[in-house]
A and B are shown apart, each in its own frame.
Chain A
Amino acid sequence: NAGVTQTPKFRVLKTGQSMTLLCAQDMNHEYMYWYRQDPGMGLRLIHYSVGEGTTAKGEVPDGYNVSRLKKQNFLLGLESAAPSQTSVYFCASRPWTGRTEAFFGQGTRLTVV
């Protein structure tokens, strides 16, 4: 069972470059989330989606865009990367019933130089 898969696992970007992080889940979950993890800051919600074609801003959305064109995929885009976006990014999914725990991907370590 694949669960939640993030692509890529590691990436180094130069300031100003763009990239897209892909999150794919095979559990038919409605909700999907993108978090960033920085030392001492815990997991902060960037954007989330409650279903195909819908997205919403989280706690730290600036500098990121997302799309959920297909239910199983949730894309996180950086249009012009900045060193402040150096972080570990986690994707998560869960069913529409909020009582269920979220399932996380392995994380993507992004460095912007």
Chain B
Amino acid sequence: AQKVTQAQTEISVVEKEDVTLDCVYETRDTTYYLFWYKQPPSGELVFLIRRNSFDEQNEISGRYSWNFQKSTSSFNFTITASQVVDSAVYFCALSEANGANSKLTFGKGITLSVRP
């Protein structure tokens, strides 16, 4: 069975601080996919990034960066120089490869509050 753990429930930082959101996953598959979604106060779910299990390269997109480490089953998300607009709930998700049991499992989410 697949599982995603986001141990941090709420994080509060002051604007311009860096913050890392942790994600640990469990799966028996060798091929799987990891995702991060953002849910701003308006409620919609916004896709941020996808990573497959064969690609351990870190990725940077502007102030956002992701660190994927298979050895520790982690896919952490760092926001550099946080801004008030980053305040949201962030979800990490896991999907096994395509197939009849291709569920998409989410963690419980991390509520990030960025104070001015």
Interface size class of A (residues with CB under 8 A): 20 to 34
Instruction: Decide: A45 and B44 in contact? CB cutoff 8 A.
Output: no
Identify which of B65-73, B80-88, B101-109 touches chain A: B101-109
Say yes or no: is A35 at the interface (Cβ < 8 Å to chain B): yes
Identify which of A12-20, A67-75, A100-108 touches chain B: A100-108
Number of A-B contacts (CB under 8 A): 63
CB contact between B91 and one of A43, A58, A96, A99 (< 8 Å): that residue: A43
Say yes or no: is A97 at the interface (Cβ < 8 Å to chain B): yes
B-binding residues in A (CB < 8 A): 31, 33, 35, 40-45, 48, 50, 56, 58, 88, 90, 92, 94, 96-104, 106-107
Complex interface residues of chain B between 29 and 80 (CB less than 8 A to chain A): 32-33, 35, 43-45, 47, 50, 52
